Amino acid sequence: MGALTQRPAGMTVIRFGLMLLCAALAFGLIGLGFMALMYLLSLLAQGRDAAASHGISSTDSSRFGGLAIGIVFIVFIGGVAIFSPYTPGFLRSNDFLYIWSAIFICCVLGLIEDFKPDYLPPKLRLASKFIVFGLLLYLVPALIPQQTGAPGVDWLMQIDFIAWLLTLIFCVGFINAMNMADGANGLVPGIATCALFIIFITYGRPAEAALLFTCFTFLIFNVVTGRFFLGDMGSYGLGSILAIYGLNGVVVGDFSPPFMAALFAYPCLDFVVSIGRRLARGYSPFAADNGHLHNLIYRWLKPRLRHNIVANSLTGLMISGSSAGLVLLVYLSGWWPPSSYMWALVFALEIALYCIAMVLLKRSGLETEYTEGH
């Protein structure tokens, strides 16, 4: 019995040691400091989710992942702005102010929910995001793309009000999709890290460097320990940031719409499929359930691996690796520039893989009943 009880503790020490080593090798003392901050926040009694509240979590976890990322990002950017005589990428303009104000408001909405779940009714949160991004797109119309590559859609995008409305629906839907996908360790952080790596290579400014550092370090902590989720603040904040980067990249021609669709395929596909599944079963389209692909994969892996955290983390890494990770691999190989429309082939492959996985897992009897969850 003594050996059996000591083994989990020993494995925990090994996992934490590897986590700290990765952070130290990648980012030195700064990475270790971020790890310490996340560990301390994960110990707080406030902002905790009970086991299985995310559908595949088996231990209590903290919702303050987004708060940890926000604190480090602000400190990083503040330090660069104060101590650097010239900071490229800091745009002192009204558009800059409007964009970051919208992101900040979305983060605050999420943080309130992380501190006290269900304090803000879902309809109020949804309406708030529509208002915030509606104002942002009105004040910064340059974020609204005029060309998507789809003839019918491009014709509609020439009508200002319809272009504003379609872009608004996309932004709010994308934020909710990121929030809905925050269920498996490494899933949303993995997608965000791949996306931010590409964005950093493209622009190389302090903001992109800070975002890449925080997301990658959080990804390591999230995958190894399972003690953190991004929470609503993290998913709202990252969802807002990535949606804005994506829109701006498409408008200026750095990225094509198919490239962005392939990069964010999983949260968007799973969001649309989940809404359709709930409506077909007579539930609210925004009611939480455990029928997501990451839930099904976890239920398939868990009895085979016999380790909850490993099954959880492997689920997230498999999905993020085969979606955003696949896009990153093709991008680094140089097959096509990110502005190419050939990325539609990768997006089509991702759709096929998603559908095949859903069909095979459901045939295995893993979706036996409709259950509420995230």
pLDDT at 111 over 90: yes
Average pLDDT, integer, range 174-182: 92
Q: Is residue 131's pLDDT more than 90?
A: yes
Cβ atoms of 235 and 110 within 8 Å: the answer is yes
How high is the mean pLDDT of the chain? Answer: 84
pTM for the model: 0.88
- Higher per-residue confidence, 307 vs 174: 174
Q: How confident is the model at residue 128 (pLDDT cuts 50, 70, 90)?
A: very high
pLDDT in tens, 116-125: 887 888 889 9
Task: Give the span between the Cα atoms of 162 and 145, in whole angstroms.
Answer: 12
The answer to whether the beta carbons of residues 177 and 271 sit under 8 Å apart is yes
Count Cβ atoms below 10 Å from residue 366 Cβ, excluding itself. Answer: 15
For the cut 60, the answer to whether the pLDDT of residue 8 exceeds it is no
Confidence of residue 270 (pLDDT cuts 50, 70, 90): very high
Which tens digit of pLDDT belongs to each residue from 141-157?
999 998 887 778 888 88
Structure tokens at 111: 């943080």
pLDDT in tens, 79-99: 766 665 555 544 567 888 899
Q: For position 3, what pLDDT does the model report?
A: 36
